[in-house]
A and B are shown apart, each in its own frame.
Chain A
Amino acid sequence: MTTAIAYATAVEALAKASPDGDAELPLRPGQLPRAELLEAYHPDAGAQARVPLRIGPNRGDPCHPALARIVEGNALIGDVDLAALAPTSTDVLVIGGGGAGAAAALAARTAGAKVTIASKLRIGDSNTVMAEGGIQAAVGEDDSLQRHFDDTIKGGHNVADPALVAQLVGDGPDVIRWLIGLGVGFDLAGNATGGGRLMRKRAGGTTAARILSHKDFTGLEIMRVVREAVELDSGITVLNRAPAVELLSDDHGRCAGAVLYDTDHRTFQLVHAAAVVLATGGAGRLHLTGFATSNHYGATADGLALAYRIGARLREVDSFQYHPTGVAHPPHLVGQLISEAARSVGAKLVNGLGERFIDELAPRDVVTAAILRECAEGRGIERDGSVGVFLDTPHLLKDRPELLEKQLVSLKHLADRCKVDPYEEPLMVYPTLHYQNGGVAIDRNCATSVEGLYCAGEVAGGIHGRNRLMGNALLDIFVFGRRAGIAAARQVQAPRDQHRIGLGHVQRWQRERMRAGITDQLLSPVLYPDYGNFELRSHMAAGREG
């Protein structure tokens, strides 16, 4: 049982330690080397953090144990469920209604394809809207694609795919232009009305000011714009509340559409498509290793399960990003994200002894490990059973009170909901499960190892290595979302010989499960968090009774 310092004591310690005026709280001397810190305290480290996958294209590769259960799971449906279903046909089926999905749909449309976009919740309900800090793109005169590339590779601990990173940074400026063209209003430097330059901020782990933002709800603003673009396009059919329960394959093993579950009518819906873009996001709502999450309700690794079952290779599925500053108190808001924007404008992290224990602009995994270390070693702060460290807003706002209204709008809202006055009282923070670093392996055009299946956004891996930099996820979803859409639209033109569409891959999968002796009857994708209490068959049956 680790101990922690009582909240009141910690507040006193903070007040005592805070220097006057502009001076910053000095960093505690004797910092642990970063590698050592990560090895000892990061949730990805240690023997419990991974198991080898037993079946599938990545057999033997490490995977988070809870995620392994899901990707090795059995299918929710069988061939008989397809009986008496009339398929609808589209050129490109996009699964997922976040930023990547919307970008893929728009790009596929521009490339001339007929598009259907299916979302488990509603289009726009996604992690995209939660991206507060901003979007990275090397658009500054003091910046370069090379620097952005180097920062991303280094931030990802040198395991990211250099070709993907090159594509990410190379497409960056064009994506910004595309977004501005659609109507995104990025913050401008200086006189905002004078048509000035884009305002750029510095992100953790980067060598240049490269973050473009819209106040501190950049993702929400961008999603608002792209969602409108999708909904206004008559060539895009939007299916809300229609989770994909299985992909469809043809007799050559190619991906040929998906089976959706229409939650309104409680029936399956068969969509045949020449190409499928999976943009289903990440896995935060699985609450891996017991962590709270910053993710939205739908982030349950559906895409990983679907892609793996049809034969797509995964990568780095044992690597997750825990955002250092999730809310730690009050309990009903635990896990909610406090944007990096606060730290990037100068807010410090302080432990229960009033010590500043880490460089706040170090990469996220390092800051996370440092916070976990403080709490593990008894220097955390305890309040009503929750443990965390302080994000010292009072000291930050003392000299720059306007920050809260101008740049940290979301922080202000969140503090209001926490019933904390950020001018007076520090926020309590603790790492929160934030991002799936790995995912489905893709090439520069988002093609997976399964023909006809493309992946974009958080479900894809290889772009961020084992750690993602702030602002690169927003860029990632639009760079690769657009590329996936274009590549999928091109697939439409490739002639296909006669083939039958069904669940042949599920049959192969079940064979593999039996041979490997897997008896776990967990069905995947899980679609909703376990506290959602959703069970497909009883949901369907309830509809029939009603």
Chain B
Amino acid sequence: MTRLNSVLLNPRIGVGADLAAWRKAGGGEGLARALERPEDIIPTLRAADLRGMGGAGFPTWRKWTATADAPGDEKYVVCNGNEDEPGTFKDCYLLHRTPHQVIEGALIAAAAVRAATVVFYINPHQTDGIEAMRRAVAQWAGDSQIAALERLIGQPMRLTVTPSSGRYIGGEESAVVRWLNGSFPFPRRKPPFPFEQGVNDKPTLINNTETLSNISHILKNGADWYRDLGIGGASGTKLFSLSGDVLEPGLYELPMGTSLQELIFTHGGGMLGGRAFKAVFTGGPSNTLLTARDLDVALDFDSVRARQSRLGTGAMIVISEGTSVVRKVAEYVEFFANGSCGQCPPCKCGTFQMSRLLDRIATGRGTEADRRALRHLCQILPGSGRCALIDGAVTVVQSSLQTFPEEYAAPASR
């Protein structure tokens, strides 16, 4: 039996910005547990094996521990809701439909790391999400749980909703910090990490919206419950943004470790028009393509990585035999070229050149020299940026070049 939408997308808790309705649906209990035994929060997350859902899959407890252990009593928690990648549409749902689920998780984070300021950093294009979050945050003013939290931290709590720059690059951790410090969201080299030098140069914990949404449930139901949600060695659930050539695109919450086959054919209604499955661009779309032989892959961070790809944000852009890989890659690389902040010349020029070459190839004007140049760029560009943007762009190009070389061939030779 599959458990669809069992936790974060459970229709019972999709109550919107009404705090009383959230509590009636079982909300607030996780925070209550956390406030009872704040020292147990991080060990519980560790036992639960909660990972960062923004794409990295980094163990959440480590970030929290690092921030909690950082010296100083001015700390920040930032909920990263910048979500801007093509094909990813999970955070917007959580912010709009379950704002208190997000807030409660962020408050528990504040309790764990002793941060008095919580910032909800949201893509300005998500107007519904910002609106719901503003209304939801206002309802926590003067709440008894906030008072208990203030007693724990010893400072007055501040919750703010801040529109992000709306740029793709603005979702990168160090860019988040820059923006919140009043500058253009240029990513920077790490270290220092945000837990060392974040907002106002103070220790800052930055978590993705989906990650924070899981927190209250784990605190409420326990680490074992969370681990048992997953399949095989994986823990919990994952939100999958399914799109492309499937009958029923949409947002699906499934146990972590659900197979790609099940996501597409059981939940996504199968391939559009009954056409053959060709490939999946996974969350980013800045990762290695999954192809037909990967249909059995368990969708969890480790299993997907074992196939030399990444689960990323959980975005699954499915394409069928009727869809051109090169056109898609050209579209995504153009997106990255647009999204490059421009501070690292190899990224600024590299994404531009790749986009130009891909456009020529995708419109039948590419020469052999163009194809060669593209391959060369894939070799020299990786690792040349302060952030991972250029690496992601190269990965998707290289992967498609390797997997679908015939689509890159000159039209006459096909």
Does A177 touch B at the CB level, under 8 Å? no
A514 and B272 contact, CB distance less than 8 A:
yes
Binary contact track A415-446/B, C-beta < 8 Å → 1, others 0: 00000000000000000000000000000000
Residues of A within 8 A of B322 (CB): 78-80
Binary contact track A77-92/B, C-beta < 8 Å → 1, others 0: 0111011111100000
B324 and A86 contact, CB distance less than 8 A:
no
Residues of B within 8 A of A86 (CB): 363-365
B404 to chain A, nearest CB (A): 11
Among B248, B323, B363, B407, contact of A85 (Cβ-Cβ < 8 Å): B363
Residues of B within 8 A of A510 (CB): 272-273
Binary contact track A503-519/B, C-beta < 8 Å → 1, others 0: 00001001101110000
**Complex alpha-carbon distance, A83 and B358, angstroms:** 11
Among B245, B321, B324, B407, contact of A507 (Cβ-Cβ < 8 Å): B245
Number of A residues near B (Cβ < 8 Å) is 19
Does A502 touch B at the CB level, under 8 Å? yes
Residues of A within 8 A of B361 (CB): 84
**Complex alpha-carbon distance, A74 and B322, angstroms:** 13
B245 and A83 contact, CB distance less than 8 A:
no
Residues of B within 8 A of A502 (CB): 327
**Complex alpha-carbon distance, A515 and B248, angstroms:** 9
Binary contact track B329-358/A, C-beta < 8 Å → 1, others 0: 001000000100000000000000000000
Does B231 touch A at the CB level, under 8 Å? no
B362 and A511 contact, CB distance less than 8 A:
no
Does A500 touch B at the CB level, under 8 Å? yes
A80 and B324 contact, CB distance less than 8 A:
yes
**A78, closest chain B residue (CB):** B322
B273 and A514 contact, CB distance less than 8 A:
yes
Binary contact track B65-80/A, C-beta < 8 Å → 1, others 0: 0000000000000000
Residues of B within 8 A of A74 (CB): 273
**Complex alpha-carbon distance, A500 and B328, angstroms:** 11
* Contact residues of B between 229 and 252, Cβ < 8 Å to A: 245, 247-249
Residues of A within 8 A of B41 (CB): none
Does B326 touch A at the CB level, under 8 Å? yes
**Complex alpha-carbon distance, A85 and B327, angstroms:** 10
**Complex alpha-carbon distance, A78 and B323, angstroms:** 7
Does B383 touch A at the CB level, under 8 Å? no
Among B324, B365, B411, contact of A79 (Cβ-Cβ < 8 Å): B324
**A515, closest chain B residue (CB):** B247
Residues of A within 8 A of B326 (CB): 83-84
Given the interface pairs A79-B324, A502-B327, the reply to whether A84 lies near B364 with Cβ below 8 Å is yes
Residues of B within 8 A of A498 (CB): 338
**Complex alpha-carbon distance, A112 and B290, angstroms:** 49
* Contact residues of A between 504 and 543, Cβ < 8 Å to B: 507, 510-511, 513-515
**A79, closest chain B residue (CB):** B323
A309 to chain B, nearest CB (A): 14
Residues of A within 8 A of B411 (CB): 84
List 7 other contacts, CB 8 Å, given A84-B361, A84-B411, A514-B247. Answer: A78-B322, A79-B322, A83-B324, A83-B327, A83-B362, A507-B245, A511-B248
* Chain A residues within CB distance 8 Å of chain B: 74, 78-80, 82-87, 498, 500, 502, 507, 510-511, 513-515
Q: Report 25 cross-chain contacts, Cβ distance below 8 Å, ordered by A residue.
A: A74-B273, A78-B322, A78-B323, A79-B323, A79-B327, A80-B322, A82-B324, A82-B327, A83-B324, A83-B364, A83-B407, A84-B326, A84-B361, A85-B364, A86-B363, A86-B364, A87-B363, A500-B331, A507-B245, A510-B272, A510-B273, A511-B247, A511-B249, A514-B269, A514-B272
